[in-house]
Amino acid sequence: MKKKYSFILLLLMCLPVLAQQQQQQQQQQESVQNSTDNIFTIVKPDYTLSPYTGMTKQHWKDAALYLLKGAFGYIHNLDDPMKFPKQLGISYPKDEGKVPTEKLEGLCRTLFVAAPILKENPSLEINTIKVADYYRYQIGKLIDPSSPSYIVPRSKNGGPNQNLVEFGALSVSMLIAPEILWDPLPQVQKDALAKTMISYADGPTVPSNWKFFNIFVLSFFKDKGYPVNEKLLVDYLQKSLDHYRGEGWYNDNPAFDYYSMWAFQMYGMVWSEYIGKKYYPEFAVKFETNFKDLKDNYPYMFSRSGEMIMWGRSISYRIGSIIPFPLMGYEQDKDINFGWMRRISSGVMKQFLEHPDFMKDNVPTLGFYGAFEPAVQGYSCRGSVYWMGKAFLGLMVPDNNPFWTATENEGAWEKEFVKDTVYHEFQKSSEILITDYPNIGAAELRAWCNVPVINASEKFRGSENYNRLSYNSAFPWQADGVNGEVAMNYVFKNNKQEWEPFRLYTFKKFEEGVYYRDVVLETNSNIKFNLAEIPLANGILRVDKNRSTDPIAMRLGHYALPKLDAEIKTTITKVKGHQATIIDNGKYQLAMIPLLGWDKTEVVAAKGLNPSSDESAVIDVSVNFTPQKDTSAIYATLMLWKKSGEKWSDKELLPVKKIKYSEKENTVRITMVNGEKKIVKYN
């Protein structure tokens, strides 16, 4: 009997402990729940100030807190690192040696989100953790040799690495919130931190936007009274300016991409505002002058509803692309349409933060909407995504700034653009063409790509991130498939019997609405084309000349459509002797009409290749090219689009009335149904 009562007593004593453990497990599960239960919601939207998005500065703060709470779901005490579940695939770490850097990324990058909030609310608590205390504690661990998070100072002959990047990021946050992140540190920690961080900054770097990481570290510690290599600092400032090409674009050596605009321009403006004006006014003036140029073209790269284009590497940083817009608030420029700039910025936030696939395990995925391996680079870990937190540096712009007080509007889309017309912003220095389509409210761009991938250390520079014929805000790029599935590019059956895309482009000119490039196949220089594309009100007319001297099987793909709520419908119709193939996913329709050169049209289903859905479809045209047979070798193709539910007229499906190639003149003369005449001049 005594044993029975003893057991009952023991059970009663254990019940509270078991209940507590169960509660803790439940809380932990809830803190890392999937995105389907955790989508950002705009509370009390303000449709008076922001009639299109409902978002105000307060909602930007809410968005930052939303991201930060997700990250702190993994923090239960001060010793827990900002380390998140690894996304299966090519991202690092693949061994324990990279874990300290992974933790450093998580710490420094989430700090981009936290620093502006802590600036206003230093006592912020999340998950019972005092956020400021956590970051200061973890910063101290970076210089503690007994800590698993310890970062070894750069050796005397050490080269640049990821630690330099993250210390540059840490410097930016300490620069904007020193009273939170720097001033409270004990002097011994300050000195040790200076020694470690300067060891990386006072040394080699990568000849790209990386120079700014050296610049920010050296600038911060100079401002705090530490001796730094000022000669090197000035050298890196000048070399960063040397990347400028005009019209807002820097070259990121070798590429043009979002980094060429938002990263360079953000670094230049933030550095000028916090350091440059004080110590190096001549450099600050140059960065600010370059910054002024972006307002004339960068806003046109976003759709009418404020969607960004999927293009270039590190696309997982997503909303980071908007940071130049709030930073315009530092300019005293009355010609800037701040209501449009905020409408774009908040639109991009909604594009991702409200998407059900954006978050998994309470952390943004590596991808575009959800996880998408073709868009991931090996230098990224799961915490890398918080580089997008740079968008929240815009919160440092004062409340009374016109960026926050102007009423949202749609800028050029409502005041300049007319239906059934197409608009271009051509960047002569970078050779980038931005095109806007009022009929569907989409933005599109054509940009540089000329990087081999064979034996390359950075194969992504010649991948779909850069090698598509064009990139459109309405139709995110689809990856190529091993069976020849292709969207918005050519692929060829090479000597290895593999489908190989074009990637080695040479820009020629943009003239009278025609964008010209030459291109060769990497594995066979005998496969070469003169490319010419003409954006139309409802799509693109391609008139490409095949100058190849070897026979080859080839395909050309339209943009792809993801499967949404219902099956993708296919319709085939005839228009004046031409076959039009149309696919419809309930949101958009795509139509492809071969005019010259092609033998076959087919709708190709794909799995796992599209960033918006596991299932997708694309319209391809194909032919087996024979040089002796196809002497003129002109491939003319209409690649059109409409919103779902809208009917196609014959004039819309076949806007071309007549097309004629002159071998003697090396031109194609085109007469449109509306009477307009166009001439494609390959020479």
pLDDT digit string, tens, across residues 319-363: 999 999 999 999 989 999 999 999 999 999 999 999 999 999 999
Look at residues 673, 591, 598 and name the one whose alpha carbon lies nearest to residue 639: 591
What pLDDT sits at residue 38? 79
Separation of alpha carbons 120 and 396, rounded Å: 10
Look at residues 422, 443, 445, 451 and name the one whose alpha carbon lies nearest to residue 432: 445
DSSP letter for each residue of 446-504: E---B---TT-S-GGGGSTTT-SS-EETTB------TTS--SSSEEEE-TTS-EEE--E
Contacts of 473 (CB under 8 A, 6+ apart): 302, 303, 307, 308, 309, 442, 443, 444
Look at residues 121, 116, 92, 90 and name the one whose alpha carbon lies nearest to residue 104: 92
Ramachandran angles phi, psi of 555, nearest 5°: -140, 150
DSSP letter for each residue of 389-435: GGGGGGGGS-TTSHHHHSPP--THHHHT--TT--EEEEETTTTEEEE
DSSP letter for each residue of 546-575: E---S-EEEEEEEEEEE--SSPPEEEEEEE
Separation of alpha carbons 575 and 578, rounded Å: 5
Contacts of 497 (CB under 8 A, 6+ apart): none
The tokens describing 638, both together, are 């209409």
Hey, what amino acid is at 643?
Answer: K
Look at residues 468, 488, 519, 501 and name the one whose alpha carbon lies nearest to residue 311: 468
Q: What is the mean pLDDT of the chain?
A: 93
What pLDDT sits at residue 160? 94
For the stretch 118-159, pLDDT in tens is 999 999 999 999 999 999 999 999 999 999 999 999 999 999
What torsion do the CA atoms of 450, 453, 456, 462 make, to the nearest 10 degrees? Answer: 50
Quick one: what percent of the chain has pLDDT higher than 90?
92
Handedness of CA 472, 473, 475, 477 (dihedral sign): positive
**How many CB atoms neighbour CB 673 within 10 A?**
14
Quick one: what percent of the chain has pLDDT higher than 70?
94
Q: What is the reported pTM?
A: 0.93
What torsion do the CA atoms of 200, 204, 210, 211 make, to the nearest 10 degrees? Answer: 100
Look at residues 281, 236, 241, 247 and name the one whose alpha carbon lies nearest to residue 264: 241
Separation of alpha carbons 251 and 580, rounded Å: 40
**How many CB atoms neighbour CB 319 within 10 A?**
24
Q: Which residues of the chain have pLDDT under 70?
A: 1-37, 629-632
Widest distance between CA atoms in the chain: 111
3-state secondary structure 297-357: CHHHHCCCCCCCCCCCCCHHHHHHHHCHHHHHHHCCCCCCCHHHHHHHHHHHHHHHHCCCC
Strands 569-575 and 667-672: unpaired
What pLDDT sits at residue 274? 97
Contact 287/293 with Cβ under 8 angstroms? no
Handedness of CA 199, 201, 202, 206 (dihedral sign): positive
Contacts of 308 (CB under 8 A, 6+ apart): 301, 302, 318, 321, 322, 348, 351, 473
What pLDDT sits at residue 628? 75
Contact 585/641 with Cβ under 8 angstroms? no
For the stretch 563-596, pLDDT in tens is 999 999 999 999 999 999 999 999 999 999 999 9
What pLDDT sits at residue 172? 98
Contact 113/389 with Cβ under 8 angstroms? yes
What pLDDT sits at residue 37? 52
**What is the distance, to the nearest Å, from the Cα of residue 602 to the centroid of all Cα atoms in its chain?**
31
The tokens describing 144, both together, are 């503690």
Contact 173/112 with Cβ under 8 angstroms? yes
What pLDDT sits at residue 332? 81
What pLDDT sits at residue 631? 58
Contact 553/570 with Cβ under 8 angstroms? no
- 418 - beta bridge partners? none
**What is the distance, to the nearest Å, from the Cα of residue 505 to the centroid of all Cα atoms in its chain?**
22
3-class SS of residue 161: coil
